Structure formats: C-alpha cells, structure tokens
C-alpha cells in the first residue's frame, strides 16, 4: 500500500503521473477487499468502480468540480481517495464512516445519497445554481445501469437534456442492479455493447481520442467544435440519450484508466449535456472463483483470501425468508396471488417465490411507484398482488399508494421488510416512518406480526381481506422462534389484538417485535410486585376497540412500544383516540425520537432508542413514580 499511503486527498492523486494510476487502483482494490472482509458492506459495487473513481479524481478537481454519485454504495474507493482512508476500517460501524455518502462526512460528498435515482436531478440542480451564480466548475453525475430503471433518473435527464447547461452523466454499466438488471433499458444497453456497429464506432472514438492528444493546447476550442461535428455525424448507438439531449460517448472499458482519461479529456472539450457510457464488471478482483455477482453486491464479513463468508448462516431464519417461503406456499393455495418486487428479489425473499412461480413474479426494476400502480392495475383484474418493498423505499411510492390503491379500495398487499431500526445501512435506510405514513392512508389496514407464525397468519388474513389494501411490516432481523408449517397456521382474525399477559394499572401495548421486550419488561416488573398487562397490538389500524374497552377500566396508563418514530406513530394515534374515547386513560408512547438515527447494529440502535426490556421497565417505573403533574 506504499503508493496509497501517500494519497491524502485528490490533490496528491492528481499530482501522480498517469502511468502510476493503475498501480494506485490495484492498491485501492486490495484495501477494499481487506477492510470490507472485516466490516461487511457493498463490496461488489465498489470493486467495479475503482478505476473509474481514480480517473474521475484525476480528470476533475473535486471539491471545486462536483462529482455526484447515485446511491453511494459504489463509492468506497471515493472515500478512500478523498481523505478517509484512515477511517475506512470503521465503515458502517457505530461512530464510523457511513456506508453511503453524506455531506457531513466530507466536502467531497456534495450530495448525500443512499436511495437510487437521485444523482441526475441533484447534479443538474448544481449546474443550474452554478450558472445562476455565474460560477465556473464542472458537474458530473455517476449513475449505475440499475438506477437507469428509476423513473427519477429520466425526470432529471428530461429536464437537463435540452437545457444546454454543462453537465456530464457517467453511466456505470455493469449489467447488474442488485440482481441482474431488468427491463427494456437493460436490453437496450446490452444491445449497444454487443452491436458490431458499436465496435466500429468504438474504433472511431479511439481514433478521435488519439488525435485529440495532438491538438490540445491553443487549438482546443476549434478542436472542440470539430469533435462536436464529428460526434453529430457519427451514427450513435446511444440514440436514446441523444434524443434526450445528451451527447453520447462510448461505450468504453471502465477498467482501462488511460482510455477513461482520454475520453474524459475529450468530453471536457465539448459543452452541454453529455453522457459517457462506461462498461464495468461488478465485483472485479473479488477472490471467489466463480463469483455469484448478486451475492457480493453487499456481503457479510468474509475471508479476504478465498472470499468465503466467515459465519456459516445458521440458527433462526430471517423474517425475509419466512415471508418468502410463506408467500410461495400460499400461492399454491390461491392462484390469484402474484408477487412484485422493485429490484430486490433476494432482499425481500421474493426470489424464493420466483423460483417456484416464475410467471407470477414481477421484478419491475428500481421503480417503487410503478410497482405500486402496477399492483393496483392487477388488482382491478381480480388478482391478489403482494408488493414486497423495504419500508424505506416504499416511501417513494406514497402518492401511488394513496391515489392508485387506497382511495380505490383495491386489495393490494404491502409487505414492508426492514421496518424499524435497520442497523448498519444507517439513516438513509431507516424503516422508522412506515407506521406514520401508512396509518394516515385511508382504507389501509396496517399490521405488524410479533413472530413468524403471526406473519403467516396475517398474510392469510390479508389474502382473505378483499375490502382494501393491507400492509404488514417486519424488521431486518431473525424471527424470535422457529415458525410452524404454513399449512398449520390459521388466519389471524381481522382487527384483533392478543392479550399476552394479564395485570392491572399499566398496560404495555406492543407493536410487532416489541412484544418480546415488553413481556421481558413485564417479568422484571412482576419480580418487584408491579403486575402490568401486555397486549400484542398486531393491528395498528383498525385498532381492536373491544380490547381497548376491556382494558380501559382497570388500566389507567397505556404505554405503547413501537420500533418506529414516535411522531404520528401508533402511540400518538392511540393517544388521539383515547383523548375522546377514554379520557381517564393516559397514553405514553415509547419509540424512536424524532431525529436522524446513525448506523450501528440494530441492537445498539434499539438500546439507544430505549426499546429494550430494561429501558421499557425503567420507563414504567419512572412513570409510576412520577404521575402526570408531579414536579
Ligand atoms: C429507491 C431505492 N430502491 C432500492 C434501492 C436498493 N439498491 C441499492 S443499490 C441497488 C442497485 C443499483 O444498481 P446500479 O445503479 O446498477 O449500481 P451497481 O450496484 O450495479 O453498481 C439497489 C436496487 C435503493 N438504494 N434505492
């Protein structure tokens, strides 16, 4: 790592002769493999962009020039080369570097990221601001081919393309989203790469690039014009982008640093919106012999020499898997059931369904809004679509949920994985907001299972519920106990709660996986002579009014516990109800405070939010010790 150690920031990199850049890239690649083997993280995406990052930092002057990365999961080399190499081993850990990009971490992270499809819009906005302020610098958006399945990317391109403003989009095409990329745009990009005409074009671009070396200097403006003309006259494989108003360059090998630099030099001589299409290999250099490219998109800690995972997975299954298996089996019972994912077949467990029911499975790309409206259309035809999307990404589809599904009372089922504290992905991926955003949707049923059996029972209930949409949320975690066979689990009766423990005075009203710490808190309190009730509030909407009527006379304090933000959450909505229906009852919500939550393990985050048995018990003790109004 001798060379890498001398790079404290982009200036050091820019002062290196071009011939040494590949050596630097090799060291960066090794550093990525070593460090991520211990921390886990998005190794595949970041290994694919090593040379591209080196070339961008050499060709442009960050932070004066603005490089905007889409998602940010592929920007680990960026972190290493923009002054964060020393801290790189803290990646994704509490107090350490974030796994995506954030403005507070570095002046080189112009725009925070984590969700896909934002780079073109943000970069275009920066170009607009630059022009309004009469400043002069370059703006580059780096976007993956997966993110080109996001509608948002085209909204940005549509706006930027005909603006004539100076903006460069680098399309980092590895043929992969997390899974192999899908859809017409993927086919289109594939056809560009495979076409013999493209190969001829590549030769001509190479020729142009080579001749550019001879004319740089005072002749640059003339040369720029010449290039412009030539490019216009060339048959362009990137016609789609040309039609959108972008000059198209490429496709070029994104691991060939000299070619990348020559192309970027050329592109810099042209003005207006430009798109450079680079072909990269996801996971390039990863030590697995026959890499399953999807598996190392993000990878848990592994052996840096063999690439094999360190911990053989075992123990209780993840919620994701219980969901995927249940859905697959329920599809055998109900031929109307179809499953939809937005580019996350493995992450949502729907890959299991896909294997068994390929014709009833739809991966629509990174297109959460489309996934939702597509589901609504299927529901109008009598199918029972299950939309499986992470809690954090479903927020993208909020208007579609209300406009296309809920007000039309269409029976679409939303399976919201990663609900609650999300762990090391951090603030951009937190599933803390789905309870508030779903509770306020008309006609929506909102549920949270407490274990795998209840997930299956709620799915059965959802399939029987024809009157409108139905949402289930569950965390990024293992289920608390081994789930039973799907065929042995009956439907949970609609709208019902379950009393888990009888006490008096205080009722702990727990949501989903918070039942376990609530019960443990009740045990601890019972040992001190305080006997509280614990209720599994598996339906957040509608609430079980009969259960509340039964609770109210003997329980004057209701403490709600939810793995979500307290603002407008379950406790807050119950407090609103109690204020009119049960005025003698006091409702105290426990949940995540209204602030951003940093990356850490899920257990650390839950502890920080007071969502552990100890913290819940302590809260009840202090509420009992200091009734309302006490000083
Ligand atoms: C709105 C949104 N949906 C889903 C994701 C999850 N996700 C992270 S990276 C990724 C694939 C991105 O593919 P691409 O842009 O081609 O980058 P690559 O990983 O191939 O480098 C997905 C689906 C996300 N970050 N944002």
The Å distance, Cα 71 to ligand 1 centre, comes to 6
Task: Name the closest-CA residue to atom 17, ligand 1.
Answer: 144
Q: Determine the average pLDDT of the residues in 283-287.
A: 91
| CB contact at 8 A, 49 and 75 | yes
Closest approach atom of ligand 1 to CA 145? 16
Q: What percent of the chain has pLDDT over 90?
A: 83
- Nearest ligand 1 atom, CA 429: 25
Residues within a 6 A CB radius of ligand 1: 45, 48, 71, 73-74, 115-116, 144-147, 174, 176-178, 282, 297, 343-344, 366, 393, 396
With a cut of 80, say whether residue 13 has pLDDT above it: yes
Phi, psi of 365 (to 5 degrees): 90, -175
pLDDT at 250: 87
The Cα–Cα gap between 460 and 415 comes to 13
With both helix axes pointing from N to C terminus, report the angle between 613-625 and 515-527 in degrees, rounded to the nearest 10: 50
pLDDT of residue 415: 98
Model confidence over 217-264: pLDDT tens digits? 545 545 555 555 455 545 567 888 999 999 999 899 999 999 999 999
Distance from C-alpha of 458 to C-alpha of 435, rounded to nearest angstrom: 16
Index of the ligand 1 atom closest to the CA of residue 48: 21
Per-residue pLDDT reduced to its tens digit, 380-420: 999 999 999 999 999 999 999 999 999 999 999 999 999 99
Torsion of CA 594, 598, 602, 606, to 10 degrees: -40
pLDDT value at position 557?
A: 97
* Predicted local distance difference test score (pLDDT) of residue 231: 53
Q: Is the pTM of this model over 0.75?
A: yes
Summarised one tens digit per residue, pLDDT across range 572-610 is 999 999 999 999 999 999 999 999 999 999 999 999 999
Q: Which two tokens stand for residue 229?
A: 């003309």
- Atom from ligand 1 closest to the CA of residue 396: 1
CA of 343 from ligand 1 middle (Å) equals: 8
Q: Averaged over 534-547, what is the pLDDT?
A: 98
The pLDDT of residue 297 is above 60 = yes
Q: Quick check: is 282 catalytic?
A: yes
pLDDT at 296: 73
pLDDT score recorded for residue 630: 60
Crossing angle for the helix pair 257-268 and 196-215, to the nearest 10 degrees: 70
User: Closest by alpha carbon to 68, among 114, 109, 13, 25?
Assistant: 109
Ligand 1 pocket test: pick from 45, 75, 286, 388 the residue with the most ligand atoms within 8 Å of its Cβ: 45
Query: How far, in Å, is the centroid of ligand 1 from the Cα of 116?
Result: 5
Tokens read off for 104: 């507070």
Q: 111-120 burial string, b = 16+ CB within 10 Å, else e? A: bbbbbbbbbb
For residues 167-176, give the mean pLDDT.
94
pLDDT of residue 307: 87
Amino acid 464: pLDDT: 98
Instruction: Identify whether 242 is a catalytic site residue.
Output: no
Instruction: State the closest ligand 1 atom to the C-alpha of 344, by its place in the atom list counted from 1.
Output: 23
- Provide the token pair at 143: 């976007």
Banded model confidence at residue 97, pLDDT cuts 50, 70, 90: very high
Q: What confidence score (pLDDT) does residue 224 get?
A: 54
What are the pLDDT digits (tens) for 303-315? Answer: 999 888 887 667 9
Which of 34-38, 152-156, 230-234, 328-332 is predicted with the least confidence, judged by mean pLDDT? 230-234
Say yes or no to pLDDT of 473 above 60: yes
Q: What percent of the chain has pLDDT over 70?
A: 91
Inter-residue contact 247 to 274 (CB < 8 Å): yes
Digit-coded pLDDT (tens) for 15-39: 999 999 999 999 999 999 999 999 9
Answer whether residue 198 shows pLDDT above 60. Answer: no
Does the structure show a pLDDT above 80 at 216?
Answer: no
| Residue in 53, 116, 155, 294 to alter for ligand 1 test, most ligand atoms within 8 A of Cβ | 116
Which of 166-170, 236-240, 494-498 is least confident? Answer: 236-240
- Annotated active-site residue in 92, 102, 282, 418: 282
Catalytic choice (281, 294, 368, 454)? 368
For position 233, what pLDDT does the model report? 47
Q: How many other C-beta atoms can be found within 10 angstroms of the C-beta atom of residue 459?
A: 28
């Amino acid at each position: 790592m001798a060379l890498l150690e001398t790079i404290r920031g982009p200036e050091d990199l820019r002062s290196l002769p071009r011939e040494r850049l590949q050596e630097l890239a090799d060291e960066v690649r090794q550093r990525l493999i070593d460090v991520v083997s211990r921390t886990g993280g998005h190794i595949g995406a970041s290994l694919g962009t090593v040379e591209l990052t080196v070339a961008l930092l050499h060709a442009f002057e960050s932070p004066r020039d603005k490089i905007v990365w889409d998602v940010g999961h592929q920007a680990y080399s960026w972190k290493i080369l923009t002054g964060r190499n020393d801290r790189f081993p803290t990646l994704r850990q509490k107090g350490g570097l974030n796994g995506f990009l954030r403005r507070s971490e570095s002046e080189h992270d112009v725009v925070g990221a984590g969700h896909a499809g934002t780079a073109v819009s943000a970069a275009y906005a920066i170009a607009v601001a630059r022009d309004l302020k009469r400043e002069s610098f370059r703006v580059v958006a780096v976007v993956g081919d997966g993110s080109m399945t996001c509608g948002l990317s085209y909204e940005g391109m549509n706006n930027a393309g005909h603006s004539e403003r100076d903006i460069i989009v680098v399309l980092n095409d590895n043929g992969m989203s997390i899974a192999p990329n899908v859809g017409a745009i993927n086919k289109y990009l594939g056809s560009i790469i495979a076409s013999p005409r493209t190969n001829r074009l590549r030769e001509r671009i190479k020729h142009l690039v080579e001749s550019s070396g001879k004319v740089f200097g005072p002749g640059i403006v003339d040369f720029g014009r010449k290039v412009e003309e030539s490019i216009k006259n060339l048959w362009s494989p990137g016609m789609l982008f040309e039609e959108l108003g972008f000059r198209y360059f490429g496709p070029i090998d994104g691991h060939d640093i000299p070619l990348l630099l020559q192309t970027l030099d050329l592109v810099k001589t042209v003005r207006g919106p430009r798109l450079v299409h680079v072909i990269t290999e996801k996971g390039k250099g990863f030590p697995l012999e026959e890499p399953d490219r999807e598996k190392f998109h993000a990878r848990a800690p592994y052996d840096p020499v063999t690439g094999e995972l360190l911990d053989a997975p075992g123990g209780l299954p993840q919620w994701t898997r219980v969901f995927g298996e249940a859905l697959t089996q329920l599809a055998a019972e109900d031929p109307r059931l179809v499953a939809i994912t937005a580019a996350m077949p493995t992450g949502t467990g729907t890959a299991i369904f896909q294997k068994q029911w390929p014709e009833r499975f739809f991966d629509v790309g990174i297109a959460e809004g489309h996934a939702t409206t597509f589901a609504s259309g299927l529901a109008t035809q009598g199918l029972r679509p299950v939309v499986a999307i992470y809690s954090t990404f479903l927020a993208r589809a909020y208007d579609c949920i209300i406009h296309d599904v809920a007000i039309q009372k269409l029976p679409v089922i939303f399976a919201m994985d990663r609900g609650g504290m999300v762990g090391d992905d951090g603030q951009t991926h937190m599933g803390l907001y789905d309870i508030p955003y779903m509770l306020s949707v008309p006609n929506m049923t909102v549920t949270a299972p407490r274990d795998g059996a209840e997930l299956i029972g709620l799915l059965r209930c959802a399939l029987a519920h024809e009157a409108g949409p139905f949402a289930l949320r569950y965390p990024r975690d293992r289920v608390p106990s081994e789930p039973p066979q799907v065929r042995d689990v009956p439907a949970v009766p609609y709208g019902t709660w379950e009393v888990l423990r009888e006490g008096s005075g205080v009722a702990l009203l727990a949501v989903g996986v918070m039942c376990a710490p609530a019960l443990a808190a009740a045990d601890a309190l019972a040992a001190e002579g305080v006997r509280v009730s614990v209720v599994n509030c598996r339906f957040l909407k509608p609430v079980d009014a009969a259960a509340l009527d039964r609770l109210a006379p003997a329980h004057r304090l209701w403490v709600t516990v939810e793995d979500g933000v307290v603002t407008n959450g379950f406790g807050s909505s119950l407090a609103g109800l109690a204020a009119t229906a049960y005025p003698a009852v006091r409702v105290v919500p426990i949940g995540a405070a209204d602030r951003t939550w940093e990356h850490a393990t899920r257990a650390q985050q839950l502890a920080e939010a007071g969502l552990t048995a100890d913290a819940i018990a302590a809260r009840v003790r202090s509420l009992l010790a200091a009734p309302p109004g006490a000083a």
